[in-house]
């Protein structure tokens, strides 16, 4: 099924107007030897058959298991109004708001999104979103290097291992030095980081809560970094900001992270969005699109894309980044989510996550042989140490209907018996109790 509507008559009329005998003749500027034969692809299907194929594929995945997986993607409640609004064709099928008069909808919504992200992070400015948390973190590092004009980057091992891989991928062709500071137990090694900060340091990269779920008080690191004019880049889990003090107040200079947990479904890892928020002085080094407020010819408030001189379509190879688009619709979903649950709801959401995770941690670690690993405070994610390697346990529990957690041994050698467990407001007491029961069974029966 294709989506063209031309009738034979219309095609004939159009060809006649153009003055050529056939559609094929319009392709004559292409040398014949470059033309492909038929594509080796199947014939098109009807809409119904195409959907049926895809529905079959969807049906083969197993999503009815209780999900205790985290590691950067979280199974949160998405209020019904979020999807209803985000699916509006005027938002979905619009383009980048380059012509402000015909895109005040997207522009005002993105301005409100920027406001919401600054409200969460305590920062003064932010952009209209980046691709995802990993690439946003890599761009943050590049940004910090530009601002400080320095090449040395300290990265805490507690940062999501995939994010660290993305930073390395982004920076491999740049003249810089990435120093990874190993974890100390479940938390960043503050002493080692402090010792590593000097006047060659562009930035210190921390994740809070870290990949193991532990939260570091970054104030000391921020103080030392600022004393030598280095920056603190903190990758933050936005839902935690319902209870955790804002990154700006705790000393971060660049606040970044992944927005999937705000109103975006898991969707096998994408689409999502990244956010990047900073103090006003750094705004010209911010990559990505930025929406600004202004007034129009009649004195009415209007929104426009602004500071475009930073971007690739103007500065080309000297742009702050090559980024052209943002993840507009995903950012809007986050805005709708935060608007629907509201100021009170956002705080309540964080408390619920905290409570349920604490209960799970207590209940699961009460099982014989199971230990908690986090000594630092946690939010909704924590690590358990099992008496055996995690892989078999995870497989057993999956068959019994539970995605128990992420085995840490994949990324952290020596932690083969450790399991990363996340608990969101979607989990119930009885699910947690069931998890505990099954875990005990799989270990000891």
> Which of 177, 182, 227, 429 is close enough to bind another protein by CB under 8 A?
429
DSSP letter for 319, please: S
Residue 217 CB neighbours (<10 A)? 15
Pairing of strands 152-156, 177-181: parallel
The residues in 287-316 that bind another protein, with binding defined as CB under 8 A, are: 289-298, 300-304, 306-309, 311-316
Q: How far apart are CA 436 and CA 167, in angstroms?
A: 37
Pairing of strands 254-258, 231-236: parallel
**Cα dihedral 309, 314, 316, 319 in deg (nearest 10):** 10
Decide whether 335 or 439 has the Cβ nearer to another protein.
335
CA 4 to chain CA centroid, nearest Å: 36
Decide whether 124 or 196 has the Cβ nearer to another protein.
124
Print burial letters for 236-251: b (CB count within 10 Å at least 16), e (below 16): bbbbbbbbbebbbebb
Q: How far is the CB of 403 from another protein (least distance, A)?
A: 7
- 49, containing H or E segment: helix 47-59
The residues in 350-369 that bind another protein, with binding defined as CB under 8 A, are: 351-352, 354-359
Q: How far is the CB of 227 from another protein (least distance, A)?
A: 21
Structure tokens at 297: 């010819």
The residues in 203-262 that bind another protein, with binding defined as CB under 8 A, are: 215, 217, 241-246, 249-250, 258
| Residue 224 near residue 194 (C-beta atoms within 8 A) | yes
Is residue 388 a contact point for another protein (CB under 8 A)? no
| Residue 78 near residue 69 (C-beta atoms within 8 A) | no
Q: Which stretch binds another protein (CB under 8 A): 84-92, 151-159, 227-235, 364-372?
A: 84-92
> Which of 140, 214, 327, 374 is close enough to bind another protein by CB under 8 A?
327
Q: How far is the CB of 56 from another protein (least distance, A)?
A: 8
The residues in 93-132 that bind another protein, with binding defined as CB under 8 A, are: 93-97, 99-106, 108-112, 114-116, 118-120, 124-126, 128-129, 131-132
x/- site string to another protein, residues 390 to 419, per CB under 8 A?
Answer: -xx-xx--xx---x--xx--x---------
> Which of 225, 248, 349, 386 is close enough to bind another protein by CB under 8 A?
349
CA 422 to chain CA centroid, nearest Å: 17
């Amino acid at each position: 099924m294709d989506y063209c509507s031309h009738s034979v008559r219309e095609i004939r009329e159009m060809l006649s107007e153009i003055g050529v005998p056939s559609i094929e003749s319009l392709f004559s500027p292409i040398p014949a030897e470059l033309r492909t034969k038929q594509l080796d692809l199947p014939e098109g299907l009807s809409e119904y058959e195409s959907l049926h194929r895809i529905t079959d594929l969807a049906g083969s995945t197993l999503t009815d298991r209780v999900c205790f997986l985290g590691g950067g993607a979280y199974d949160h409640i998405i209020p019904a109004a979020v999807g209803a609004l985000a699916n509006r064709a005027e938002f979905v099928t619009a383009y980048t708001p380059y012509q402000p008069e015909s895109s005040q909808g997207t522009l005002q919504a993105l301005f409100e999104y920027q406001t919401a992200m600054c409200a969460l992070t305590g920062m003064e400015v932010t952009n209209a979103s980046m691709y995802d948390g990993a690439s946003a973190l890599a761009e943050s590092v590049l940004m910090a290097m530009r601002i400080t004009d320095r090449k040395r980057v300290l990265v805490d091992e507690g940062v999501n291992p995939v994010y660290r891989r993305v930073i390395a991928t982004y920076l491999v062709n740049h003249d810089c030095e990435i120093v990874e500071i190993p974890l100390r137990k479940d938390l960043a090694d503050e002493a080692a980081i402090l010792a590593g900060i000097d006047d060659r340091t562009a930035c210190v990269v921390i994740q809070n809560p870290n990949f193991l779920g532990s939260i570091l008080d970054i104030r000391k690191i921020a103080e030392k970094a600022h004393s030598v004019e280095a920056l603190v880049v903190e990758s933050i889990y936005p839902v935690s900001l319902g209870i955790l003090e804002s990154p700006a107040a705790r000393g971060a200079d660049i606040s970044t992270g992944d927005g999937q947990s705000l109103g975006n479904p898991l969707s096998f890892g994408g689409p999502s969005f990244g956010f990047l928020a900073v103090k006003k002085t750094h705004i010209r080094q911010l990559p990505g699109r930025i929406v600004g407020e202004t007034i129009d010819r009649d004195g009415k408030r209007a929104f426009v894309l602004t500071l475009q001189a930073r971007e690739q379509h103007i500065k080309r190879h000297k742009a702050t980044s090559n980024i052209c688009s943002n993840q507009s619709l995903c950012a809007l979903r986050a805005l709708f989510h935060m608007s629907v649950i509201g100021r009170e709801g956002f705080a309540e959401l964080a408390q619920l996550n905290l409570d349920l995770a604490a209960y799970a941690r207590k209940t699961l670690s009460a099982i014989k042989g199971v230990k908690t690993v986090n000594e630092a405070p946690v939010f909704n994610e924590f690590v358990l140490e099992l008496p055996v390697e995690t892989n078999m346990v995870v497989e057993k529990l999956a068959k019994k209907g539970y995605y128990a957690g992420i085995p840490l041994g994949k990324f952290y050698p020596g932690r083969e018996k450790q399991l990363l467990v996340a608990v969101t407001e979607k989990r119930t007491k009885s699910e947690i109790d069931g998890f505990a029961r099954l875990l005990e069974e799989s270990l000891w029966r």
